[in-house]
Structure 1
Amino acid sequence: MSTAPNQPENLQSDVKPADPSPDQPASESPVQPEEEEEEGECGFCLFMKGGGCKDTFVDWENCVKEAEDKKEDLVEKCSQITARLKQCMDSHSDYYAPILMAEKHAEEQAVIELEKEKQDSAANDNQPEAPSQSNQK
């Protein structure tokens, strides 16, 4: 969609006046510590935070980090916030369409792989073991 590609340009134009010059050391940068952390974030995270689900995504990120730090089951611990994030993304599907489409494609591929594994397993179960035994003699 045209909204997502244009947004980073708008953000960049807003950020440029605050950016230090290439000669200026990073320690003299006027960037706040929280902004510094966001600056190094992945494109996916920046995209997710650019839409209407920023707060829900941040809650989800925090849940995932806490689960990893405490070595807890991430799926179990974060299932409710994950469901809220998905619901939010669905309600803002105009912005989150690329992610939602990729998720749908991944789900379809997973179903195809599972079906293939079932067929392969069924085919292996139906093959007689005699040929493999005769090859061993």
Structure 2
Amino acid sequence: MKQSYITIVDSEYPRQLSEIFCPPLVLFYQGDLSLLNTQSLAVVGARQMTSYGEATLKGILPVIIKRGITVISGLAAGVDGLSHEITLKNQGKTIGVIGSGIDQVYPRNHQYLQRAVAEQGLVISEYGLGEEPIAWHFPEQNIKIH
């Protein structure tokens, strides 16, 4: 799948993101960039899934998806990954914000999920090709998802 990018001066750059402190100057992406202009809900949660978290997501997200709301999350293990899986299963729109280059997958077992999100939704990152998933990237990523 083709990787592209937009800059903070491009009209496609998300307005809300441009208004945060120190926004990324470049966003790399794969998928449907128009999803950045849809009504959305950010879902960020624990890496260790609990039965309560799973039940809550399975109960709430289908209702959100039916209303045409785009689900944004981090493609990480646990709550994030399940949010994308539920959204795709329900033919919803989803955006994965990752803390590495678009060509990297973290966790490694999410290769299929990241590819599915890129093909049916959008994967975005402020990190260039080859950038490994470094621990300090993830708090920044979660701030920008919100």
Structure showing the higher strand proportion among its residues: 2
Say yes or no: TM over 0.5.
no
Structure with max Cα Rg: 1
- What range is the shorter-chain TM-score in? under 0.3
Structure showing the higher helix proportion among its residues: 1
- Greater RCO (Cα-Cα under 8 Å, separation 6 or more): 2
TM, length-normalised to structure 2: 0.25
